[in-house]
């Protein structure tokens, strides 16, 4: 089973890492941790910035993305010794890049967090679920942020 794990930030690393350690994965399984770097938009006020400044922003985004992907990948390698775990960093729009990676890698499952900024599922998770060529598990990140909430909702599609 090929499992693509799309992560956005450290909150996703914590929540998805905890979820994955508890999930009964079938064997054989392999994981790909994907982080999509949002491109620096050079328009409006950004067009006034010199290229070295926008290059620095892009480099910082890449460094942060590599750090979160590596963090989750290391957790998975430690929790599941002998299971292949790879990291992948791509630049683009998260919605389309995740779906493209699912198709290109021929994934069997996508696991992603949802910050739920626009309801139960965020715009990225909603789009990925709608266009995914495989099954999807969406783990709400916001529910884990609320200390008073003991319910954990997982949307499995």
Looking at residue 147, the DSSP 8-state letter turns out to be T
Tens-place pLDDT, residues 37-80: 988 766 555 555 566 667 788 889 899 999 999 999 999 999 99
Residue 72: per-residue pLDDT: 96
Residue 80: per-residue pLDDT: 96
CA distance 107 to 89: 16
User: Hey, what are 56's tokens?
Assistant: 């620095």
Residue 100: per-residue pLDDT: 97
Which H or E run contains 10? helix 10-22
Cβ–Cβ under 8 Å, residues 124 and 98: yes
Q: Say how many domains are in the chain.
A: 1
Query: Which residue range is the domain that position 9 belongs to?
Result: 2-156
Q: Name which of 3, 31, 6, 2 is nearest 139 in CA terms.
A: 6
For position 10, which CATH number holds? 3.40.50.620
Q: Name which of 41, 82, 86 is nearest 66 in CA terms.
A: 86
Q: Locate all alpha helices (DSSP H) within 80-141, ordered by sequence.
A: 94-105, 123-131
CA distance 114 to 120: 8
In the three-class reduction of DSSP (H, G, I as helix; E, B as strand; rest coil), residue 47 is classed as helix
- DSSP letters for 59-94: HHHHHHHHHHHHHHHHHHHHHSTTS-EEEEEEES-H
Residues forming a β-bridge with 136? 110
pTM (global) more than 0.95? no
Residue 149: per-residue pLDDT: 44
Residue ranges of the chain with pLDDT lower than 50? 144-151
């Amino acid at each position: 089973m090929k499992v693509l794990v799309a992560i956005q930030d450290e909150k996703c690393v914590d929540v998805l890492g905890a979820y994955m350690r508890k999930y009964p994965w079938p064997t054989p399984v392999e994981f790909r941790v994907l982080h999509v770097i949002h491109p620096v938009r050079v328009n409006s006020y950004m067009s006034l910035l010199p290229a070295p400044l926008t290059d620095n922003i892009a480099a910082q985004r890449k460094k942060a993305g590599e750090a979160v992907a590596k963090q989750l990948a290391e957790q998975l390698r430690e929790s599941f010794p002998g299971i292949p775990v790879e990291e992948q960093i791509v630049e683009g729009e998260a919605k389309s890049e995740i779906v493209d990676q699912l198709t290109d890698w021929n994934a069997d499952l996508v696991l992603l967090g949802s910050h739920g900024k626009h309801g139960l599922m965020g715009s990225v998770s909603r789009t990925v679920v709608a266009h995914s060529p495989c099954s999807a598990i969406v783990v709400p990140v916001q529910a884990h942020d609320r200390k008073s909430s003991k319910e954990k909702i997982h949307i499995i599609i």
